[in-house]
Every structure is written in structure tokens, then in C-alpha cells.
Structure 1
Amino acid sequence: MTIRWPDAVLRPQNVAFDIAPRSLAGPSSVSGITQVVSSDAGIWKATLGNIIIKSRNAVLAHRAISALLEGRLGTILVPLCRAYQPVPADSDALYEDVPHSDDALFDDDTGYVGTVIDVVAAAPAAVRAVSMTVTVNYAGDIEPGQHFSLGERLYRVRSFDADTGAMTFRPPLREAVADGDPLNFDDPVCLMRLASDDAMNLELALRRFGSPTVNFIEAV
């Protein structure tokens, strides 16, 4: 089972998710023209910056994740926040944490959370496709720049036609999509690994407080 970054315990102050293009360029000619050749198979890179560490739980969680990942060997699901997603109007209350039957929450003070946005593939799509047709059952406005995940793979909307359901996205599909597969706009995640073996190093002030920055790259 793939572990997930516990953003409720290790909350970053700065977050960046970007697609790193794969390009090659030759030297400039006398006229100043440069030829650039680029692949469409860019990979995700992410930075969780200035993570707030000021409690025992946060210190131990950071150390535990470091031990589980063992540098770049292991993989982890890195979630995005829900900001800027196509959340329907007046639906924020539907995302509130639901406790156990005895009104208790989990140890990190979170509860069960369901999905709200309902968007599914309207037709199959092949591996490396950069477009598909979707059916929007319940959602706000889907716009370029928003994110969704299929399984453990992350994608960014490039264009969307609300009349036809035609959507383009980047990067290309990592896995084939079947008719009816759900697009996760509520809680998009990306399967990643540490960008370097020492990315989880933790320096603590007074052995208690820290604000590390962790860099990831997509596991492909």
C-alpha cells in the first residue's frame, strides 16, 4: 500500500506543482535562431516548502516518512489542496469531517471525508492520450489550470468544452482509461518519489521546531 503525505500533520506554507518539460536545444546559429526539440511526456515536480513542525507528532511523522521512503527508493502520494477546483457553489459544508459513531476523530483530529464533485470518463482513452470526453454529473465550472487524478496519476486541465464534454490535459495519460472511470477533482494526488536521497533531512531548532522544504518528482 502506498503511503500518503499527511498534510493535516505536516502542513507546508508554500506549495508548488509544475510539469517539468523535457527539451533539448542546440547552439544558436549566426542569425540567432535556436532549434528546440521537446517531448510531450513531461513529468511532475513538486515542492512542499517551509513545512510547519512544532509538535511531537509532526517530528515523528516526518521521521517516519523518511524511514519508509528510504531516500528515492520508495514512493508516496502527494496531495494538492482543493483551492481553485470546480467545487459547486454552497458545497463547502459537504467536505466537513465526519467522526466515528462515538463522535471521535482520528489521532490527527481528522475524520472521514467523502467526494462531492462527480465527473467520469464518457468514453475509453488510450495510454498517452492528451484528450478525452467526460460526463459532468455534478461540479462547478471546469477551467484550464485545474487538476484531477486518475488513480494515482495527476493531470492538469488544458482546455474544456462544457457543451461537448471534450477535455484536453497534460501530461499524457500514464494508463488507459475506461468508460465510466471517475476523475478525482475533490482530492487530486500524484505518485511521487523524493527528488534526492537527502530530501527528508530534518534540522530542528532547540530540538523541537523546524521548517524543512521537501522536493519530489513523479514516479514514472
Structure 2
Amino acid sequence: MQATFPHLALWQDVQFYIAGQSLEPEESVTGNETIVPTMRGKWMASAKFVLRGEAATLQWQAFLAQMQGRIGTTLVPCRSRYRPKDRNGLPLPFCSIGGIAGSQTFEHFGFQNTPVNRIVLASAAALRATELDLTLNDTTGLRPGQFFSIGERLHRVQLHWRPSSTTNRVMIEPPLRAAAPAGSRLEIERPVCKMRMVSETEGLFDQAMAVTPSTPVNFMEAL
């Protein structure tokens, strides 16, 4: 099943990286190494969350139950330090879900903000494409090193240039997992990646009453 990522968990440490982009180097008799690229690179994520209060703790336990170890998948938000800005150069919000102050909903749900189409594809992009033409609606644009997602798939910008006064083009990694039509929305406020847990014991935490629970968890991209 696809579980909803718990919005009450407080991010503490987080790393997103791509693994498996090349085979293990082979060394010749002269000592030269051969690096062989592959097409199987996928996102990995390691994070640590603080669970503050009853609502956050129960929500996380429900999330673990829904994930069923390595069986379930979820859209893991990709948190990074320096993210895109809006057209006025102001920081974009990362949290897209609001709760009820001083209370909790019985099923742990929140109220999601309406998404804004800040960037869309200016032209269709094929499967495995690594260059995208963009239309900027409400942002100063994507800088190399920043993350975005299209649908359930996460990408990172390698290069950004303007081949003409009206065209913004980016080179990305990894290549597109699926073809995308013109007008497809790029999520730059809260990019996500479809992932599953690396092991059956991810996300466990100390149930002692005297401590504020914190939990490490590792994810891998679900392809």
C-alpha cells in the first residue's frame, strides 16, 4: 500500500543521495581503474525525526503499521538547506499541511494547502530525458544543486542555462523515470520521492516515558 508520510514528525537530520550509478571499479595489471556507468542509479535517504507529543508519536506508529516493513511505499519529502524562491525572491514554505492548534484529529490527518504551479514544463519530455525546458510562473528559477519532483519522482539540477531570452533549460539527474507532457507541474516547494524502507526495523524508537522519542530511518527509491 501507499502510506501517507506523517506530517507531525519533526525533521532533525536528513541526507538524500543517488547510489548505484556505476559498477565497482576494476583495476588492470598496470594499476589503471575502469569506471563503468550503469542505468540503475536510485535515490537513497537517511533521516532522523523527533516525535513530540501523543499525536506525533501515534501518527508515526500508524505510519510504521501502514508501511509493513519493506512492503509499503510512501512519498518521502526531500528536505534541503537552500531551496528555490518565489518570484519576489522570498523563501518557499516546506510544510504544506496545517493542523488544528492545541488539538488533534482522530485519524491524524491535516489540511493541505492548494498547490501552486510555480514551474511547468514548456515542452514535452521523453522517458530518460536529461534536459528539460521550463516555464517560470512564480519563482526566480532552479539553481544547480536544487531538488524538484515531477509526480512521484525526485530529481536534482546539474546545470541551468538560457538558450534564448524566453527559454529556461536545465540538465538533471537521474533521467526522467517516465515521459511527461508539456504543462506538467514541477514540485519545488516540497519535492517528494516514492520510496520504501531499507529494512524491517526502520523507524523504531524508545518507548520509555521519560524521553522524547527520536527515530532514525533509511529509505530507498521504489522503482
TM-score bracket for the superposition, by shorter chain length? 0.7 to 0.9
Q: Give the 5 Å matches for 1:74-113.
A: 74-81=72-79, 83-88=81-86, 89=88, 91=90, 107=105, 111-113=111-113
Matching residue's letter, 1:70: Q
Q: In the TM superposition, what is the alpha-carbon distance from 1:78 to its structure 2 partner?
A: 0.6
| Equivalent residue number for residue 148 of structure 2 | 148
Aligned length: 217
Matching residue's letter, 2:159: S
Instruction: Please list every run of 5 or more consecutive structure 1 residues that lacks an aligned counterpart in the other structure.
Output: none
What root-mean-square deviation, in Å, do the aligned CA atoms of Structure 1 and Structure 2 show? 3.1
Of 116-125 and 179-188, deviating more is 116-125
Residue 80 and residue 98 in structure 1: after superposition, are their counterparts in 2 closer, same or farther (change >3 A)? closer
Percent identical:
32
Q: In the TM superposition, what is the alpha-carbon distance from 1:127 to its structure 2 partner?
A: 0.9
Matching residue's letter, 1:73: I
| Equivalent residue number for residue 16 of structure 1 | 15
Q: Deviations over 1:24-83 (max 9, x none)?
A: 13542233211110114410011112x112422222112111111111100011112374
| Equivalent residue number for residue 30 of structure 1 | 29
Aligned residue for 1:71, secondary structure, equals coil
Q: In the TM superposition, what is the alpha-carbon distance from 1:99 to its structure 2 partner?
A: 7.4
Residue 93 and residue 172 in structure 1: after superposition, are their counterparts in 2 closer, same or farther (change >3 A)? closer
Q: Deviations over 1:76-135 (max 9, x none)?
A: 1111237422212364598898979x9999747964423456111111111111112111
Of 115-124 and 128-137, deviating more is 115-124
| Equivalent residue number for residue 130 of structure 2 | 130
Q: d(CA) in 2 for partners of 1:24 and 1:90?
A: 41
Instruction: Please list every run of 5 or more consecutive structure 2 residues that lacks an aligned counterpart in the other structure.
Output: none
Aligned residue for 2:202, secondary structure, equals coil
| Equivalent residue number for residue 174 of structure 2 | 171
| Equivalent residue number for residue 59 of structure 1 | 57
Residue 41 and residue 99 in structure 1: after superposition, are their counterparts in 2 closer, same or farther (change >3 A)? closer
